[in-house]
Amino acid sequence: MSKSTKLWGGRFSEGISDVAHRFSSSIALDGKLWREDIRGSIAHARMLGERSIITKEEASAIIAGLEDVALEIESGAFQFNDSMEDVHLAIEQRLTEKIGAVGGKLHTGRSRNDQIATDERLYLKRAIPVLFNNASEVIRELLIKAEEYIDAIMPGYTHLQRAQPVLLAHHLLAYVEMFARDRERLAGVLSRVDRSPLGAAAFAGTSYPIDREMTAKEIGFGTTLGNSIDAVSDRDYLIELASTCSIIMMHLSRMAEELILWSTREFGFVTMSDAVTTGSSIMPQKKNPDMAELIRGKVGRVYGALINLLTTMKGLPLAYNRDMQEDKQPMFDAIETTGDSLEMMALILRETRFNISKMESAASGELMATEIADYLVRAKGVPFREAHHITGKIVSFAEDAGKDLDQLTLNDYRVFSEHFEQDIFEYLDPRRSLAEKRSAGSSNPDMVTEAIRKMESGIKPIITAIEYNCS
């Protein structure tokens, strides 16, 4: 252990142990936030100059120095390494190496506590629009497929048992609704992220006459956080985002699961192209839906991030605690995994063909049982419960006879109820059944076409991702 060389080392006579340094350094993760850190620092320095807390010349020297450091990091001339503690200290230290003691004035009236919260929020202001756009791409691909296959009928399932025929487009639009709500959630998180903690200092504020509005505006925040203790001590914005990412991953995994099932020989509903499938090193016939499986598999990481953040924050006394440094890994991982998975799903959709004849032939037979019951109710005035019972008997009879419902004769039907007449066979046509659907939001082809149109025009414009340059 040697004499402390840390920027905070004044009251220490000895340096931190190597093990403690290694244990506590976060540079490997928060180094990624250097753009945000420098942007925040430049705004802070300019404000210090404007408010005469430092001189204008000092502010200019600091800003020029920070811009230089940014160029150095960008070009690789200055690289972070394990000897550094975190991104804030690394940049400040490099600044001081370059411009001398005046660099030490940058940290007036602020703390790493408000700095890190600012960096994270800024990072999210860039990352959330990207996720939003990734989700929009999935929606777009779903709408393209819904339109392309607007006539295709498939068996709808409950309990993974064939239930009733639906339009494939209707099924795909169910996912559009889910991802549309995910986008709303992302936009909601973004609105709460867009508040500046900078100037909360360590947690209690500062006696320097700083201007928090000025820095917030310069950095591009919509507003400032009201309470300095809250500003540095909560991470609810990360938890909200991880929760939204978890919901997105849950939606993606259900879709992935269906595509995996549907690509089996047993279903045969979809064929994924070579671009998104892989072969087996031992079984030459295999074409495996690995990309969809990986989406399904990555869900655990994102749920893990959510639980990680919730657990880290649980029971933490106010204000800042070093525990909170552990938020970077789940934050980055949730965002990157969710973004990649959305991107992958959009590609899978683009690279998937639906085998409509296979789907359609699976969408008849016993799926029409509900129609038989409805026939008795609507055309013959039989109470629904009784109609359900009669139909159950017919299904069981057909099953025993090894026949489909449309292979039974009128006489077969009449054994179970005298109400049956020749027109029952019209009711066994899945297309007729779809056209008969009346309720709003149902699988009626006209309604589905209208829903596609509405979603296409209602789709919010893509949010422009915020790009940073450092000045």
- CB neighbour list of residue 317: distance below 8 Å, 6 or more residues apart: none
Is 280 one of the catalytic residues? Answer: yes
For ligand ARG, the closer CB: 58 or 333? 333
Peptide bond into 292 cis (omega under 30): no
Smallest gap from Cβ 113 to ligand ARG, in A, equals 5
For ligand ARG, the closer CB: 314 or 322? 322
For ligand ARG, the closer CB: 23 or 458? 23
Under 8 Å between Cβ of 279 and 287: yes
Smallest gap from Cβ 108 to ligand ARG, in A, equals 17
φ, ψ at 48 (rounded to 5°): -60, -40
Smallest gap from Cβ 86 to ligand ARG, in A, equals 4
For ligand ARG, the closer CB: 265 or 322? 322
Q: Which 3 state secondary structure label does DSSP give 354?
A: strand
Binding site for ligand ARG (CB under 6 A): 26, 30, 86, 112-113, 116, 320, 322, 324-325
Residue of 2, 75, 159, 207 marked catalytic: 159
Q: How far apart are CA 194 and CA 130, in angstroms?
A: 15
Q: How far apart are CA 438 and CA 383, in angstroms?
A: 20
Q: How far apart are CA 383 and CA 373, in angstroms?
A: 9
Burial of 83 (0-12, 13-18, 19+ CB in 10 A): exposed
Q: How far apart are CA 360 and CA 77, in angstroms?
A: 62
Is 44 one of the catalytic residues? Answer: no
Smallest gap from Cβ 264 to ligand ARG, in A, equals 46
Residue of 280, 357, 361, 396 marked catalytic: 280
Q: How far apart are CA 369 and CA 391, in angstroms?
A: 7
- B/e letters for 435-452, b = 16+ CB within 10 Å, e = fewer, are eebeeeeebbbebbeebb
Smallest gap from Cβ 112 to ligand ARG, in A, equals 4
For ligand ARG, the closer CB: 116 or 214? 116
User: Which residues are catalytic, by number?
Assistant: 159, 280
